[in-house]
Each structure stands twice: as structure tokens, then as C-alpha cells.
Structure 1
Amino acid sequence: MDTLPAFLSHLEHERRLAGNTVEAYGSDLADFFNFLRVHLGEEPTPKALGRLKARDIRAHLAQRRRDGLSDASIARLMSSIKALYRWLGRAHDIENAEIAYLQGPKRKARLPRPVSIEAARDMIFEAETDPDSATWIGARDAAVLSLLYGGGLRISEALALTGADLPAPERLRISGKGGKVRIVPLIPAVREAMDAYAAVCPYALTKAGPLFRGAKGGALNPRLIQGLVQKLRGVLGLPDTATPHALRHAFATHLLAAGADLRAIQTLLGHASLSTTQVYTGVDASRLREVHAAAHPRA
């Protein structure tokens, strides 16, 4: 198998990375390999990659910057290249110290931008009572948004639910990124929204079939939820940062503000690393200062 397909197969089947992540690696490295074919005048085999110098990588990064790539995209590209070389070391015993020590541009820390409690409630209410939608579609949309905000699910996770998840349980089994399974407790408001939708949905919700259906009965397309949230932004006067994923951010931020343990939030979100969850401490810094002031013995 050629080098790049073999590496991507490793990411998918051995590291079990999400499909979107593997696709991002593939896009970055396809451009890199195309550059090397011209730059080296040969196919970038593992041995050829082992002979590369830091200046060769810098030449590719400079070309991509001329193409208009941002610092964040350049940093991601550098990360993809270094991941490739780590795999080459394990799979082909090829080490390249020059490239191992290369550093890309530092990424600016981007804090999540959650919606407020009031905005989340308004979005769910407006979706449910939209006069332009059929009653069952309003109930469906309210149930999906309730799962994002009340359960911290990703869109893909909510839309992966099936009729087997009815009636809505107190604890929902979710298969997240990389096939990681977690248990998400559902508050009564979320369970009621799911069951209310199921009661009025005109299609048979079989155990093996998708829970959330489109207007014609097929599986609900995530673009429809993205379009719904875009419409709600206009109706409610919310900023462009009010996206479906902002409801998941709000779930974590509002739990943290209420005193939830960071480890518990990590588990609920399905984050593999606590460092990923810790970004929410930056969002709710004021709350952390209050906790510190109340709890520290010298405060």
C-alpha cells in the first residue's frame, strides 16, 4: 500500500479517529505529497521522506502561506506532517530529527462561545412553536436542540439515535468520536421533548431506524438543523456564534458555573483528555474566582 493511504488507514482502523479528522489529515497530506513529487522529482516513499530536511518542509509551508492559509491552518498542517513522521518511526523505523523539532506557528487560544441560558431556552421554544413548520417538525426540532443543550450531544450523536432509544431513558448510551462510548443522563425536560416528538411523528420509529426523520421520512440531515439555528439567530437577534455546537458549549459552561466538577463534565462530553475540557474554565473565569475567594483559607 502507498505511504499516504497506509497512514490514513492506520488513523482510521488502529487509532480509530473520527472520519472528519481522518479526512482533514488526508487533505493536508495530499497537498504535501503533491508538493514533494514536484520538489523531489520522485514519489515520496518512506525512505524519501526520511531524507527530507527542515528546509524542504519550510518550503512547503511557505507555499501554502502564499496560497492564503492562516496561522491556524499552517499549524494544523505542521501537526499532520509530524503525526505522519511519528507513524513512519513506528511502522518503518524511519526517524527524522530535523522534522521532529520543527515548530509551526502558535495557535491563538480560542475560547468556546456558548449561548446564554435565556438564549438556549428561547431557541428551543421558538423551534417548537414555529408557525411555518408542521407540529411534528416543531416537536422534532425542539427535541434535537434539547439534546444538544440538555445532554451536551454533538449533532452527529443526536441524529445517530434510533427508535430503540424510546421511550427516552434516564441514561442514554452514546457512541461518540472514535467509537468511544459514554453514558449521558437525561434531565426530565429532554426526555419529555423526545417523547413528545415520538408521539406526533407521522412515521413508524422502528428500533433499527433513525429516531429523527426528515419531512419525507428519511434520516434527518444535519444541514437542516444548522439551517434552523441560522433562522433562529435572525428571529431572536443572536450573534453568528450561536451555532448548534454553541448549545453543547453552553451545556458544559452552565454546568461549570453551577459548580459541576471538571472531571464529570469531561465524562459527559466524551472528551478523551481533560485538557480539552479545561478550555471551559477560561469561559467561566469569573465563577472560578468566586469559588476561589469562598474556599481559600486566606481569602
Structure 2
Amino acid sequence: MPVPTLNAIVSALRFFFTHTLDRPDLARRLVRLAYPLTLPVVLSRDEVTRLLDATTCLKHQAALSVAYGAGLRVAEVAALKVIDIDSARMLIRVERGKGGRYRNALLPADLLTLLRQWWKVGRQQGVMQRDGWLFPGQHPMKPISTRHLHRIVVEAARAADIAKRVGPHTLRHSFATHLLEDGIDIRVIQVLLGHAKLENTAFYTKVATRTVRTVTSPLDKLGLFKTGEIAPG
């Protein structure tokens, strides 16, 4: 059984013994296991472009563009309604974020243009309502499912010949990493992602390769090894 799953069981048992049975003594022996965090898979900007171009319809392209362009979680994308797009302030209202927290997300100008195109097409297809879901499912009264969004990403990645193991959250990882590489303050990124703790956002510094490449090593500043001055062997 994966360690995160075991830790979830431990947390549930500790709550049961401590609060339900009022026996905190029984919970003392329940210890959460430490496990190494794996680095998230991040797409390059070229790979993101190829993935979005490989989608099969405007609705799918718009949904994945929201995930990347605003850095939303897959459940947040699925739960968006048309009224959540605030074009006057260039914001996306996220009312069903993790932990039930509300926040404002980024609405890039190009993303707004794409969403307006999807609005026109959706209205023509009869699936879009002014107070309805931004991305309706097979039934217009229900939102697209997170499972369907995951399948869309996987199929688009396969069509774009991207060998990396990707999912909807990969686009969110890529959003945060690319912002960090562009020099955006990490606390701003924390707000945009809706992270409660800065340490969760700081994790992206481990995969921001462009940021690493801009650092000059102190060895280079010594000037010991000039190009062409090292004898072979």
C-alpha cells in the first residue's frame, strides 16, 4: 500500500480514537510514515504548445488552456461557471478551490479570447448558458468530469508525441515553474496557485531549470580554466 494512503488511514484512526472514542492514549502509537517527495513532471513551453494544438476540439483546448494559463487544479477547471470569468478585471473566480477556499486566478488576454470563441461555438451548439457551466459535460446541466479531463490530456500528449507521463495537474505544475523561471516572485505564485503554505510553492524551485542555468557558479568567477588553454589528456 502506498505510504500516502497509509498516512491517510493513520490520520483517520487518530481522529477516531482521540475525538470519537475520547481515548487519545490509543492514538499515541499511531505514527505517520515519512516518504520522499517526487519531483513533479513539467512540460517545456514547446511541449505545452504542442499539447494544446493536439486537442481535438475547441472545448478541450479551452479547458486545458485554463489549466495551464491560470494554473488551476483539474477539479477547479471542471467546477468553473460562465459567470466566474471576470473580463472587466481580467480575473477568474475560483469558488470551489482546495479546502473550500475562494481566490482570484489569472485571466490572460489570449485565454479570454479563446474562451470567447468557445462561448460562441458553445452557444451555437446549444450547450452553453449564461448561468451554466463553462465546460459542460455530456449533459449540459452537468460539468465535465475530472476523469474526462484527464483522458483529454493523456490523448493530446500521445497525439503530440510527448513521452512524459502527464495529466491535468502537469499543466498546473508547468504554469508555476514557468512563472518562477520568468522571475515572478514566489509569494505571488503562491497566491495564484492558492497554496496555504509557501513551502508547497517553493517546491517548484527544484524543477525550475531555467532559473538554475542563470546562476553563475563561483568556479567560473575564478577564471582558472579558459577555453582552449587546457591540454588534451
Whether 1:193 aligns to 2:117 is: no
Whether 1:165 aligns to 2:120 is: no
Structure 2 counterpart of 1:190, which letter? Answer: L
- The corresponding residue for 1:282 is 206
- The answer to whether the 8 Å contact 2:92/2:105 transfers is yes
Shift of 1:92: 5.4
Distance 1:165 1:89, change over 3 A: closer
Q: 2:179 aligns with which of 228, 245, 255?
A: 255
- The corresponding residue for 2:31 is 102
Aligned equivalents of 2:11 and 2:59: distance in 1? 43
Structure 1 counterpart of 2:47, which letter? Answer: A
Shift of 1:141: 1.1
Post-superposition Cα deviations, 1:199-251, rounded to whole Å, max 9, x if no partner, equal 11112533432121245535323333222222222221112422221011000
**The residue matched to 1:278 in structure 2 has which SS?**
helix
Whether 1:183 aligns to 2:112 is: no
Distance 1:259 1:200, change over 3 A: same
Q: Which runs of 5+ in 1 are unaligned?
A: 1-68, 131-137, 295-299
Structure 2 counterpart of 1:124, which letter? Answer: L
Aligned equivalents of 2:120 and 2:182: distance in 1? 33
Post-superposition Cα deviations, 1:54-85, rounded to whole Å, max 9, x if no partner, equal xxxxxxxxxxxxxxx2xxx2454145324542
- The two structures have a TM-score, normalised by structure 1, of 0.63
- The corresponding residue for 1:226 is 150
Shift of 1:278: 1.8
- The corresponding residue for 1:269 is 193
Whether 1:89 aligns to 2:18 is: yes
Q: Which runs of 5+ in 2 are unaligned?
A: 219-233
Shift of 1:188: 0.6
Shift of 1:91: 5.9
- The corresponding residue for 2:61 is 142
Shift of 1:286: 5.6
User: Percent identity, aligned pairs only?
Assistant: 29
Structure 2 counterpart of 1:147, which letter? Answer: V
Distance 1:121 1:168, change over 3 A: farther
Whether 1:155 aligns to 2:155 is: no
- The corresponding residue for 1:11 is none
Report which of the two has the higher share of helix.
Answer: 1
Post-superposition Cα deviations, 1:107-144, rounded to whole Å, max 9, x if no partner, equal 122111111111111222222xx4xxxxxxx2211111
Root mean square deviation of aligned Cα: 2.8
Q: Which has the higher contact order (CA 8 A, sep 6+)?
A: 2
Distance 1:117 1:236, change over 3 A: same
Aligned equivalents of 2:77 and 2:161: distance in 1? 26
Shift of 1:253: 0.4
